Structure 1
Amino acid sequence: MRADARTRQEPPTTGRQTMAETRADAALDPGVVPAGSREPTTMTLAQVKVLGIATLGGIFEFYEFIIFIYLAPIIGQHFFPADMPAWLRQVQTLGIFAAGYLIRPVGGVILANVGDFIGRKRMFAFTLILLAVPTIAIGCLPGYAQIGIGAPLLLLLCRMVQGLSIGGELPGALCFVSEHVPERRLGLCCGILSASLGVGAVLGSGSVAGLTAWLGKAAMSDYGWRIPFIVGGILGLASAQLRRYAHETPVFLQMRARNELSRQVPMRGLMERHRPEIVLCVIISCMTAVVTAGVHLFPAGYFITSRQFEPALVYRAQFYAALALIAGDVAAGWLCDYFGLRRTFTVGAFSLIAGLLWMYGDISPEALPLRYAIVGFISGTVSLSFVLLIRSFPAQLRYTGIAVTYNLAAAVIGGTTPLFLAMLVRANSGWAAWYPSLFCVVAVISAFLLHRYRKPINPYAV
């Protein structure tokens, strides 16, 4: 019985390449259209709507991330004793933020395992609710002056719940969208999903800056800091309501109809039969985490402290890079669908290495905004890592596979990258470019090795 259960967990394969496998090859190298293929290349209105509501989660995820970081000094004043040194309040506030970040893999495993069992749609809405409710709660929490030690403990609880939900949000959106849209538009759709994260970051920073300018520093510190959390959380709940009207993915419906859902805990099946894919996808996800932190977070502090550039100039350049990243994500996805995944990913990764060496080389303050924006645009290449993850796991385990590999890299490597870079550049400033470049090279090698493990998104397509 056990052997029979295992054989039903994944669609049967033979020594001869199936039509689904041929279509997988075509998605990696779109210049070749398989004989007899009827794969659509245009998206229907329903598929566009699915993509649209999926991007709402990405926007909200990074919106919440940015506003917490920007408001950390004010949050520390409200949730810790007034006589505590300012630096210690800041450290403890960021420690609470980091706790929610580090619990992401746990949330990813739990939510993704459930999603592979009961369906993508249910988790698609639930993860956003789980993120929105504690966000509203943070905006309503009493401070240390009102409830003492209970204030930071409640803040920690809210951050932990947010971390659990974030672990399942983006992987769930990637899985949901990939099983709805045409395979030959997967790159563009992943690029748009990735761009939504940048949109959320821009909205988050813009809302904090705008409110501060409108209310003034005193009012912002008194009550205004609560507004971005409450408004963002309400919009998150509205987005979750829209997700309830989305349809379950055709792939999951076919797996359920054929009784081919996983018969064991998806995480166990993943570890038993897909270890090479896990290792390679974690390595590729590490590139995404390092580039995100090393290109869009670390340079601001580096150019201000190490190069002595004016803060206003550096922050303006960072904003330009964030806008360029949004465009770069979409461009990388479109190029992937046109030229092929491996070719686009390889060229993009090595172009990013060249851009990093150029940006951190002999640079004047006047040249920083342009160079930073160009590197930000090229860094959109990392959005193609999502396509690689999606294609690396069978449909029965796809949600879990994406969640485990992406969140593990984001929590462990992405969370420590700014710290490692800060220590490395003290020994040699060249590490600012060498460190992310190293991950780019390793990711390209891993992408080539991962090609042999590719899976069709819809194994039942004809």
Structure 2
Amino acid sequence: MRGFRRNNKPININDVSIVDDSKSKQAIKAAALGNAIEWFDFGVYGYVAIVIGKLFFAGVDPKYQTILALATFSIAFVFRPLGGIIFGRLGDKYGRQKILATTVILMTVSTFAIGLLPTYATIGILAPILLILIKIIQGVSVGGEYTGAIVFVAEYAPDRKRGFMESWLDFGSIAGFLVGAGTVSLLTYILGQQTFEDWGWRIPFLLSLPLGLVGLYLRHSLEETPAFKQLSESEDKNKKISFKEILSKYKRSMLLCIGIVLCTNVTYYMVLTYLPSYLTDNLKYEGSLGSDLIIPVMIGMLFIQPLVGWLSDKWGRRPFIFAGSLSLLFLSYPAFLLLDSGVATQITIGLIILALSLNMLIGVMAATLPALFPTQVRFSALAIAFNISIVIAGLTPTVTASLVSSTGNLMIPAYYLMIFGVIGLVTASKLKETANKPLFGGAPMAMSEAEAAELLEEFHGTIEERIEKIDAQILALQKKRQGLADKHPEID
């Protein structure tokens, strides 16, 4: 474990944070609901991308309309680093809770606004321009949302349950996406395709308002995290660290963060955002087939997600990153062959393979990333690294759709995932295990006094082991020095 000294004094039992179980559960609910709102919009947009293309880009060749709709989706990701810089800095200065309350408001309002937009037929070129502006606002707000949420939960989670607790954040993400996609499918079934394209597509976006109000209520009632409170009481509370210092001092951690996020989120956007359009536009399946098959697979993912988080607390995070990356490298191509089979059973197996690859990665990502940075810069550093990666990952639907369209090669998505599987393997090989350890530079966190005593004993034991290793290295260097000195006539 990494060393921790509070006010330059050795750590003792009083410095171990005892986490209130009810507060930690409340933190998970509030953070997960915010993620659900974010991914509710992604799910809706992914499933109505074809409709959005027809209505907002009616002035271009039909074969490019869906690509432009997906490109508009990707534009938001270009502005996520800006949101990460703004909200990350504010989160490290003023606290996590205030930022999470702000981002959920911005997300809700911008998603709701899409449902009110006039289309190209009504206001012409202004329609896509307004859509792009709204997606930019979304990008800025989301830039601080996910990273703020994982930091918030990490700083409330006891060391031995951080994987399980953080896994519920992306349970919220998948659930939000599922509800969004399911809402679109249900409305299409009830209203019929033509009525849905005429005005029914607006309803899912408008539904984000009540979801956002619930999320705001939950987040407004939260207390600040124990870790941030400790920082506020320390001598380092007013010490400012520039972005340049963050980039130089925590370069290795940021590169690891980028690798994990790229591997995980390229898979996420490929499976959950691009595949519905791929099955309809490229594989020419009936409009409902993609939804009918993907939605049950996503429901299965909900059950797997917390299981992966729970197991990662026992086995570690690295084994799952290795397994997910290996699956991308060796099973993506067979999975896409199954998707192109035209047989419902085989298509479902292909989707399950991709979904399990994603589960193994996203099940541990939220627990792994906050442990890479200390409290003082955790929000800022994580927001920068995460959102830089998301710019690349968010382009996945657009880049893949363009490559498939230009080359006619239906296996492009598989090759794309294989590349990022290699990136995941390299990252996992360089990552130090973070499971069951305190956050970087922080004190142990426990659920009870008995667990606190156990963690403190482990913590001190690890420090003793590190000191012994250092002493052994010093002794070896002293022997080496003496051996060299013996060869020199004027050095003792």
> TM-score, with normalisation over the residues of structure 2?
0.77
User: Where do residues 97-116 of structure 1 align in structure 2 (5 Å cutoff)?
Assistant: 97-116=73-92
User: Where do residues 248-259 of structure 1 align in structure 2 (5 Å cutoff)?
Assistant: 248-259=224-235
The counterpart of 1:238, out of the listed 214, 232, 238, is 214
Question: Does structure 2 conserve the Cα–Cα contact (< 8 Å) formed by 1:96 and 1:156?
Answer: yes
Match of 2:40 in 1: 63
Instruction: Give the direction of change, closer, same or farther, for the CA distance of 1:262–1:317 in structure 2 (3 Å limit).
Output: farther
Distance 1:135 1:432 in 2: 28
**Counterpart check, 1:196 vs 2:176:** no
The counterpart of 2:383, out of the listed 378, 403, 409, is 403
The counterpart of 1:391, out of the listed 366, 371, 396, is 371
The counterpart of 1:137, out of the listed 113, 130, 135, is 113
Instruction: Give the direction of change, closer, same or farther, for the CA distance of 1:424–1:310 in structure 2 (3 Å limit).
Output: closer
The counterpart of 2:321, out of the listed 320, 339, 345, is 345
Match for 1:54: what amino acid? A
Question: Does structure 2 conserve the Cα–Cα contact (< 8 Å) formed by 1:421 and 1:435?
Answer: no
**Counterpart check, 1:373 vs 2:356:** no
Three-state SS of the structure 1 residue aligned to 2:390 is helix
Of 49-58 and 428-437, the range deviating more from structure 2: 428-437
Three-state SS of the structure 1 residue aligned to 2:239 is coil
**Counterpart check, 1:359 vs 2:344:** no
Question: Does structure 2 conserve the Cα–Cα contact (< 8 Å) formed by 1:392 and 1:450?
Answer: no
Query: What is the deviation of 1:357?
Result: 4.8
Question: Does structure 2 conserve the Cα–Cα contact (< 8 Å) formed by 1:178 and 1:457?
Answer: no
Distance 1:202 1:168 in 2: 23
Match of 2:23 in 1: 46
Distance 1:37 1:87 in 2: 62
Three-state SS of the structure 2 residue aligned to 1:157 is helix
Name the % identity: 28
Match of 1:456 in 2: 439
Question: Does structure 1 conserve the Cα–Cα contact (< 8 Å) formed by 2:159 and 2:438?
Answer: no
Instruction: Give the direction of change, closer, same or farther, for the CA distance of 1:200–1:360 in structure 2 (3 Å limit).
Output: same
Query: What is the deviation of 1:88?
Result: 5.3
Question: Does structure 2 conserve the Cα–Cα contact (< 8 Å) formed by 1:297 and 1:418?
Answer: no
Query: What is the deviation of 1:137?
Result: 1.9
Match for 2:46: what amino acid? I
Instruction: Give the direction of change, closer, same or farther, for the CA distance of 1:171–1:322 in structure 2 (3 Å limit).
Output: same
Of 85-94 and 219-228, the range deviating more from structure 2: 85-94
Post-superposition Cα deviations, 1:288-340, rounded to whole Å, max 9, x if no partner, equal 12221344445556666777766655543322332232223222111101212
Question: Does structure 1 conserve the Cα–Cα contact (< 8 Å) formed by 2:17 and 2:443?
Answer: no
Post-superposition Cα deviations, 1:352-388, rounded to whole Å, max 9, x if no partner, equal 5454354245785232213422441342111212222
Distance 1:247 1:262 in 2: 21
Distance 1:346 1:266 in 2: 34
Instruction: Give the direction of change, closer, same or farther, for the CA distance of 1:145–1:327 in structure 2 (3 Å limit).
Output: same
Query: What is the deviation of 1:39?
Result: 7.7
The counterpart of 1:224, out of the listed 200, 203, 215, is 200
Match for 2:33: what amino acid? L
Post-superposition Cα deviations, 1:4-59, rounded to whole Å, max 9, x if no partner, equal xxxxxx9669xxxx879xxxxxxxxxxxxxx999787x971221111011110111
The counterpart of 2:266, out of the listed 272, 287, 290, is 290
Instruction: Give the direction of change, closer, same or farther, for the CA distance of 1:420–1:275 in structure 2 (3 Å limit).
Output: same
Distance 1:297 1:225 in 2: 17
Question: Does structure 2 conserve the Cα–Cα contact (< 8 Å) formed by 1:139 and 1:230?
Answer: yes
Match for 2:109: what amino acid? V
Query: How big is the alpha-carbon RMSD for the aligned residues of Structure 1 and Structure 2?
Result: 3.6
Distance 1:309 1:75 in 2: 19
Corresponding pairs, count: 435
Distance 2:205 2:184 in 1: 10
Instruction: Give the direction of change, closer, same or farther, for the CA distance of 1:157–1:12 in structure 2 (3 Å limit).
Output: same
Question: Does structure 1 conserve the Cα–Cα contact (< 8 Å) formed by 2:181 and 2:291?
Answer: no
Instruction: Give the direction of change, closer, same or farther, for the CA distance of 1:68–1:424 in structure 2 (3 Å limit).
Output: closer
Distance 2:228 2:271 in 1: 37
User: Where do residues 139-288 of structure 1 align in structure 2 (5 Å cutoff)?
Assistant: 139-144=115-120, 147-261=123-237, 263-265=239-241, 267-288=243-264
Post-superposition Cα deviations, 1:227-279, rounded to whole Å, max 9, x if no partner, equal 21122123213311221000000110110111423632553331131111111
> TM-score, with normalisation over the residues of structure 1?
0.82
Match for 2:430: what amino acid? L
Instruction: Give the direction of change, closer, same or farther, for the CA distance of 1:452–1:75 in structure 2 (3 Å limit).
Output: closer
Of 427-436 and 377-386, the range deviating more from structure 2: 427-436
Instruction: Give the direction of change, closer, same or farther, for the CA distance of 1:131–1:307 in structure 2 (3 Å limit).
Output: closer
Distance 1:19 1:254 in 2: 13
Q: Structure 2 stretches of 5 or more lacking a match? A: 445-455, 457-492
Decide which structure has the larger Cα Rg and report it. Answer: 2
Question: Does structure 2 conserve the Cα–Cα contact (< 8 Å) formed by 1:105 and 1:403?
Answer: yes
Distance 2:268 2:413 in 1: 13
Distance 1:429 1:64 in 2: 27
Of 167-176 and 342-351, the range deviating more from structure 2: 342-351
Three-state SS of the structure 2 residue aligned to 1:247 is coil
Of 412-421 and 276-285, the range deviating more from structure 2: 412-421
Distance 1:129 1:314 in 2: 32
Distance 1:284 1:329 in 2: 17
Question: Does structure 2 conserve the Cα–Cα contact (< 8 Å) formed by 1:360 and 1:433?
Answer: yes
Of 229-238 and 84-93, the range deviating more from structure 2: 84-93
Distance 2:54 2:277 in 1: 23
Instruction: Give the direction of change, closer, same or farther, for the CA distance of 1:151–1:369 in structure 2 (3 Å limit).
Output: closer
Match for 1:60: what amino acid? I
Match of 1:3 in 2: none
Of 265-274 and 406-415, the range deviating more from structure 2: 265-274
Question: Does structure 2 conserve the Cα–Cα contact (< 8 Å) formed by 1:70 and 1:205?
Answer: yes
Query: What is the deviation of 1:154?
Result: 2.6
Instruction: Give the direction of change, closer, same or farther, for the CA distance of 1:222–1:302 in structure 2 (3 Å limit).
Output: closer
Of 425-434 and 390-399, the range deviating more from structure 2: 425-434
Question: Does structure 2 conserve the Cα–Cα contact (< 8 Å) formed by 1:294 and 1:418?
Answer: no
User: Where do residues 407-426 of structure 1 align in structure 2 (5 Å cutoff)?
Assistant: 407-416=387-396, 419-420=399-400, 423=403, 426=407
Distance 1:222 1:305 in 2: 20
Query: What is the deviation of 1:217?
Result: 3.5
Query: What is the deviation of 1:180?
Result: 0.7
Three-state SS of the structure 1 residue aligned to 2:156 is coil
Of 424-433 and 134-143, the range deviating more from structure 2: 424-433
